Amino acid sequence: METTGDRVRRLIDEAGSTQRAFAEQIAIEQSKLSKSLSGMRRFTSLELALIAEALHVTVDWLLTGQEPELATAARRSAGSSAETALRLARQYATQRTNLTRLGYPQKPNLPGPVSRSTTWIQQGEALASATTAMLDSMGLSTVGDLPKVIEEAFGIDVAIEQLGTGFDGLAVSTETTKLILVDATSITARQRFTIAHELGHLLSGDDQAIHEDADIYSSASKKGEGEVRANAFAAALLMPERLVRSMVAEQGSSLEGLSSVAQALSVSPTALAYRLENLRVIDAGLRSALMATTSKAAAMKAGRATEFAAASAASMQRRPPGLLLADALAAYEAGQSTLRVFAEILGVDTQTLRREWAEGEGR
């Protein structure tokens, strides 16, 4: 039966390293590593964390040899449009699992379950209503910095990365990790709808472990219980009925007025058209005209070109998962983890980070 020492030794060999070099890499005495590999000594919790970090596995895998479903999915995705997203999701989930074992668990704060006795659309709308009420009670709103709001309100990490062509995002839900990962794109409305859609999957408990959404606007995304519910949730969350009705009453139901509403809510004219038709606020003719309007054209009609350009630039920027980043820094400050974990999440090398911190303190 393979032991923890056996697994560590195998990974060192597969990495083309030696015990001496690996001991130096993780800054522990070679004699201690040798004794632990032979079973004469137990690895400490910090040593396990350092080893897991260096070998890109979880501490749980080192101890049990059991591979998480997310790791299996990442390996099987090679060559597909989901490859980059699943690799990053696995990386973040592994880092969270290791931090959890060091005493820095993620603390999700989720609303209660919604009855499944109604239609899928009604379930999504009911969940959005409960979610909006929860945000209202905290003084938060989905209008604005949506990733920050989700992290603050629900304890769910949100990351924005370059995922490549043909992949909008995914949601991860494991025993230790709750994560939304979406593509960095200039199409702000699509990114926000994807984030809300993935949040709907997490709050509904869909597809535990991982849920992939290559294209949230495809015909496939409009079929199946989970997708229909997540789409209804996203629409109702980003365009709350009371707020939408109030804004339409203020801006008017002309194409220019509705373009202003779409821009203010950071949703696409098409998404707004469907939402308003479902709420019986506009007729089919106005819906068609609004659906034929692009987000850029709507911004021009609304006189908000500058805001549209700024939002497009912002949505293209990488955003590391904020809660994971904060916990990695806390673990480092407490001497329970290396700076490399924090630097890796941040997206910089350790030496550069140390130098920038030193230069910053010197000013």
The DSSP-derived string for 31-98 is HHHHHHHHTSSPPPHHHHHHHHHHHT--HHHHHH-PPPHHHHHHHHTTTSTTHHHHHHHHHHHHHHHH
Query: How many other CB atoms are found less than 10 A from the CB of residue 6?
Result: 13
In a domain, 316, yes or no: no
Are 247 and 190 part of one and the same domain? Answer: no
Are 106 and 249 part of one and the same domain? Answer: no
pLDDT of residue 292: 92
Q: Tally the domains of the chain.
A: 4
pTM of the full predicted structure?
Answer: 0.80
The kind and range of the H/E element at 157 are: strand 157-161
In a domain, 31, yes or no: yes
Are 196 and 112 part of one and the same domain? Answer: yes
Mean per-residue pLDDT for 86-101? Answer: 90
Q: Which residues contact 27 (CB under 8 A, 6 or more apart)?
A: 50
Inform me whether the pLDDT recorded for 75 exceeds 50: no
- Where among 49, 66, 83 does a domain terminate? 66
Structure tokens at 13: 């060999």
Inform me whether the pLDDT recorded for 68 exceeds 60: no
Judged on CB neighbours under 10 Å (0-12, 13-18, 19+), 154 is: buried
The CA distance from 29 to 42, in Å, is 14
Are 222 and 76 part of one and the same domain? Answer: yes
The mean pLDDT value of the chain amounts to: 87
In a domain, 131, yes or no: yes
In a domain, 284, yes or no: yes
Q: Which residues contact 337 (CB under 8 A, 6 or more apart)?
A: 49, 53, 98, 99, 102, 328, 331
pLDDT of residue 216: 66
Are 77 and 44 part of one and the same domain? Answer: no
CA 196 to chain centre: 11
**Residue 128 near residue 48 (C-beta atoms within 8 A):** no
Are 277 and 226 part of one and the same domain? Answer: no
pLDDT of residue 363: 52
In a domain, 171, yes or no: yes
Are 272 and 161 part of one and the same domain? Answer: no
In a domain, 317, yes or no: no
Domain containing 298: what range?
241-309
pLDDT tens-digit series, residues 165-222: 778 888 998 889 999 999 999 999 999 999 999 999 999 887 656 666 666 666 665 6
In a domain, 315, yes or no: no
